[in-house]
Amino acid sequence: MEQQVKKQNTEKREERIVRIMSEDIEGKTRLYPGLTKIKGISWGLSNAICKILNLNKDKKIGELTDKEIETIINFIKDPKIPNHLLNRRADFETGEDKHLVGQDLELRKEFDIKRLKKIKSYRGHRHMSGLPSRGQRTRSNFRRNRSKGVGIKKKSK
């Protein structure tokens, strides 16, 4: 009786937390949405990883073997996917197509913003002043220390 219970427990080996690309992911989450927890992996790239590596999207991350986790990590480091899924096409410095993930993505983004500020471009000025740099309206949004209502009079008591 005890041997049967032990066999069932070893077969259903589900880890609580799995570490992929220096990101902790709960073992209960499914593979498809779980990969999107890693910074730099979108839903489209997560789908491509599952399809190219022939992994079941509905499989729990805790049920993955060490070999499967290793293949996912190797694929993320050097993805062989169409260019439109990459997040750094025609890199400013090298001119090549890359896909950055995790801390590399954050550092590169920070360096890009510093470069824009240094050359004093329009986008750099918008970043310096804390305003949107992609053409959004600023009348109603992006109001930090100002009153929320514009053109609205409060009732006097």
Q: Measuring CA to CA, which residue among 21, 45, 18 is closest to residue 33?
A: 45
**121-147 in b/e burial notation, b at 16+ Cβ within 10 A?**
eeebebbeeeeeeeeeeeeeeeeeeee
Whether the full predicted model's pTM is greater than 0.85, yes or no, is no
Q: List the chain domain ranges.
A: 13-84, 102-129
Q: What integer is the mean pLDDT of 16-25? A: 85
pLDDT at 10: 44
Right CATH for 13-84 from 3.40.50.300, 3.50.50.60, 1.10.8.50, 3.40.640.10: 1.10.8.50
CB 102 within 8 A of CB 38: yes
Q: What integer is the mean pLDDT of 10-18? A: 64
pLDDT by residue (tens digit) across 72-118?
999 988 888 888 888 888 888 888 888 888 888 899 999 999 999 99
Spatial separation of the C-alpha atoms in residues 153 and 31, rounded to whole Å:
52
pLDDT by residue (tens digit) across 114-156?
999 999 999 999 999 888 888 888 887 787 666 555 566 677 7
Spatial separation of the C-alpha atoms in residues 128 and 114, rounded to whole Å:
10
Amino acid at the residue 133: S
